[in-house]
Amino acid sequence: MATCKHCGHKWGWKETIAQLFSFKRKLKCTNCHTNQYISVKSRNQLSIVGILISLIFVPLISFGVPLRYIITSEILIYVFYIGLIPFLIKLSDQEEVFW
């Protein structure tokens, strides 16, 4: 789970999801109200996993799996992935550059 680098407050699942879906770079700790940022390592890991999930359909199509099964499996995998995101995120108290 995400933990505030300033006060050590451990964010809950709902709190983390709510912060992420605000689509802001700065995430505010609900305990000490300081700005927190998703670490570069976490952003990279989340991006790679998201891309890999998107690429699952390529071999499924080539093996002739019906489209409704592919779409259903993609949706289920993305829902599972979104549920796991709060456990994969690490926070930083400074905004880190991507490169």
Q: Report the pLDDT value the prediction gives residue 21, as an integer from 0 to 100.
A: 83
Q: Which long-range contacts (CB under 8 A, 24 or more apart) does 30-33 make?
A: 31/4, 31/7, 32/4, 32/6, 32/7
Q: Report the pLDDT value the prediction gives residue 46, as an integer from 0 to 100.
A: 87
- Cβ neighbours of 19 (radius 10 Å): 22
pLDDT tens, residue by residue, 52-98:
888 888 888 889 999 999 889 989 998 999 899 889 899 998 887 76
- Domain ranges, ordered by start, for the chain: 13-92
User: How far is residue 43's CA from residue 88's CA, in Å, rounded to a whole number?
Assistant: 10
Reported confidence tier of residue 99, pLDDT bands at 50, 70, 90: low
Phi-psi region of 42 (alpha: psi -120 to 50; beta: other; left: phi over 0): alpha
Q: Give the amino acid at 1.
A: M
Q: Report the pLDDT value the prediction gives residue 72, as an integer from 0 to 100.
A: 92
pLDDT tens, residue by residue, 8-28:
899 999 988 888 887 778 888
Among residues 83, 76, 80, which one has the least CA distance to residue 57? Answer: 76
**Model pTM greater than 0.75?**
no
